[in-house]
A and B are shown apart, each in its own frame.
Chain A
Amino acid sequence: MKVSIDQEKCCAAGTCVTIAPDVFDQRDEDGIVVLLLSEPPADLRETVREAASVCPAMAIHLSEDA
């Protein structure tokens, strides 16, 4: 799984950080998403899928086969 983020679309809700704090963080100054792990290990992938699914700005993209 490869994770990419769209900081232009991000609305700084932080939903992804709440769900998958090992993979996502927010910038201190404006709350925009920061990617900690672009290729998360298997045990984190389900929470990453959930984070991508519930992101209110749909700013997280996953490619499962990479």
Chain B
Amino acid sequence: MLGEKFKKNYKSIVEKFEKKESALISLLYEIQKENNYISDGDISELSSLIDMPYSRIKSVLTFYTMFNQKKTGKYHIQVCRNLSCSMSGARNIINFIKENLKINEHEVSDDGLFSYTTVECLGACGSSPVVMINDTYYENMDEKKLRELIDKLRKE
């Protein structure tokens, strides 16, 4: 279900763009921000709100990897595993997450706080390995830094 806030704000997002179609990605981001993920129901509602076919919205949603169609943790961790990150220890980061948060890829931890997925190049290879948590990059990561970060997020 689309939230009241979204229903109030979506027009101002659409108005920022010359053509309505260009607003689609921004609208999907907004729904994801409010609802954590984007459900089929959300697509149906959006489809009638902005008068765009359901299939069109769904095709865009499924093409881009940053949209989640399943619930994620409050803190969604994306770990880069491309060449530069891999050479500087991405595998250790992934193993650390699996063991310490006791989750596999795309799973949510029991307390609902964390989920993780491996991703391709995040474009910060000079300070690899790189991890992205929600909207923020964490660079030159190692197990120690990640442990401290996760402990800090747990307390928030």
State whether these chains interact.
no
Chain B residues with CB under 8 Å of chain A are none
Chain A residues with CB under 8 Å of chain B are none
